[in-house]
């Protein structure tokens, strides 16, 4: 599989099926190589969603950023991945991850030490029998890894890694642990906004969602940040390191920095700047999540039929910035058909 250098990351659980389909088609039309979907603890099944998106596109690769290994056994996981790889011609990437202890405990999902569990999980998937027609090529597997031991395991037993909340400095460190030819896919959040206050507020909103998980805070500390950076609303230097903001040139430079550091693929994730509250998915509208739409007035590349549909931006070093803003079109409410009566028919004939 040729994964390509640039993809889009989006939490499609906050979109309707129709909106998600439109996003995938537009992502494909604009030349992005992949669309990455995550898995909420209590959201859509990522494999059913991937099948739908693959069926509604022709060449776009669909990948899971991290299908939860605690929610399904390895035979079910690899069986679903092989099914998609066989049906859709080497266009599916299986990303797996161990989630977060906080969420696993909250939802009473049994779990154990993640490294040993992942080692056995990957080995079981690799050796699993599959009696249906096999795919021409086994689906590539990437592991959501932040730290050296999980990265080393992924390097030995998978196609690559997909760390989240990455900085170019972290990319350099991970690349040093990976063999040539292994994939290093990274996430880059960005805001197309030149006002520092607005851009950093969007960054702080998304950081607040992530830092509640201890592994992200611990990883950032290994990159030179301390408690002063991680508390009190997050320091400017932390926000600037994790979230790219500014004009198109600055955002391109950040993406290029990941490539220079050894990344083989960058998934871009747009943030919005309207300071909408970030709440739990069960209590939110689609307008309130910070990564669903970038700032209004940006050189957007995607418009949908509803005002709350997401926007993503074409800002990558390898893809030219396109002037292809699509105006938001609102569906007119359907008119109720007039009741046909004999009097109505008489009036029409008279007219």
Evaluate whether residue 193 is within a structural domain. yes
115 burial level (CB within 10 Å; 0-12, 13-18, 19+): middle
- What element of type H or E holds 173? helix 168-175
Write down the number of H helices and E strands in the chain. 13, 10
Confirm whether 298 is domain-assigned.
yes
Give 261-301 pLDDT, tens digit per residue: 999 999 999 888 874 432 222 222 233 233 333 222 222 33
Half-sphere exposure of 11 (CA within 13 A, CB side): 19
Residue 299 lies in a domain: yes
* Nearest CA among 117, 99, 119, 124 for reference residue 109: 99
Residue 339: pLDDT over 90: no
Q: Could you tell me if residue 146 is inside a domain? A: yes
Neighbouring CB atoms inside 10 A of 278's CB total 14
Average pLDDT, the chain: 80
Helix axes 148-157 and 114-127, enclosed angle (nearest 10)? 10
At 137, is the secondary structure helix, strand, or coil? coil
State the residue range of the domain holding 294: 6-350
Q: How confident is the model at residue 107 (pLDDT cuts 50, 70, 90)?
A: low
Tokens 């596109």 found at? 57
Residue among 169, 81, 83, 85 nearest 125 (CA): 81
Closest listed residue to residue 25, CA positions, set 67, 64, 1, 53: 53
Is 1 inside a domain boundary?
no
DSSP-derived secondary structure for 183-202: EEEEEEEEE----HHHHHHH
Banded pLDDT at 347 (limits 50, 70, 90):
very low
Reported as half-sphere exposure (CB side, CA atoms, 13 A), residue 295 has a value of 20
Q: Count the domains in the chain.
A: 1
How would you label 116-151 residue by residue, b for 16+ Cβ within 10 Å and e otherwise?
Answer: eebeebbeebeeeeeeeeebeebbbbbbbbbbeebb
Displacement of CA 109 from its chain's centroid (Å): 23
Q: Note whether residue 158 is domain-resident.
A: yes
End-to-end CA distance of the chain, in Å? 65
What residues form DSSP beta bridges with 6?
Answer: 266
Q: What pTM value is reported for the model?
A: 0.79
Adjacent-strand bridge partners of 319: none
pLDDT digits (tens, 9 = 90+) for 118-137: 999 999 999 999 999 999 99
Asked if residue 31 is part of any domain, the answer here is: yes
Tokens of residue 137, six digits: 């090529």
What CATH number is attached to the domain comprising 30?
3.20.20.30
């Amino acid at each position: 599989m040729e994964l390509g250098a640039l993809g889009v990351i989006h939490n499609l659980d906050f979109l309707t099926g129709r909106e998600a389909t439109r996003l995938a088609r537009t992502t494909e039309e604009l030349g992005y190589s992949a669309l990455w979907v995550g898995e909420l603890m209590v959201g859509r099944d990522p494999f059913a969603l991937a099948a739908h998106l693959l069926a509604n596109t022709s060449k776009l690769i669909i990948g899971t950023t991290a299908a939860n290994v605690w929610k399904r056994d390895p035979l079910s996981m690899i069986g679903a991945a092989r099914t998609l790889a066989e049906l859709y011609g080497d266009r599916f990437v299986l990303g797996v991850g161990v989630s977060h202890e906080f969420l696993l405990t909250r939802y009473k999902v049994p779990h154990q030490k993640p490294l040993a569990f992942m080692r056995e999980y990957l080995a079981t998937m690799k050796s699993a029998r599959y009696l249906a027609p096999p795919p021409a090529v086994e689906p590539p597997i990437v592991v959501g890894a932040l730290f050296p031991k999980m990265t080393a395991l992924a390097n030995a037993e998978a196609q690559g890694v997909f760390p989240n909340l990455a900085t170019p400095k972290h990319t350099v460190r991970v690349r040093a642990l990976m063999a040539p030819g292994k994939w290093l896919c990274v996430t880059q959040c960005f805001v197309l906004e030149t006002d520092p206050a607005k851009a950093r507020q969007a960054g702080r909103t998304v950081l607040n969602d992530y830092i509640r998980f201890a592994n992200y805070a611990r990883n950032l500390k290994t990159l030179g940040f301390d408690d002063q950076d991680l508390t009190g609303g997050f320091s400017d230097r932390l926000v600037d390191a994790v979230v790219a903001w500014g004009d198109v040139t600055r955002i391109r430079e950040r993406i290029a920095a990941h490539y220079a550091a050894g990344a083989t693929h960058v998934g871009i994730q747009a943030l919005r700047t309207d300071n909408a509250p970030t709440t739990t998915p069960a209590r939110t509208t689609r307008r309130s999540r910070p990564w669903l739409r970038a700032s209004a007035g940006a050189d957007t590349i995607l418009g949908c039929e509803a005002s709350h549909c997401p926007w993503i931006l074409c800002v990558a070093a390898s893809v030219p910035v396109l002037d292809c803003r699509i105006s938001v079109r609102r569906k007119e409410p359907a008119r109720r058909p007039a009741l046909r009566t004999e009097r109505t028919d008489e009036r029409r004939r008279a007219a």
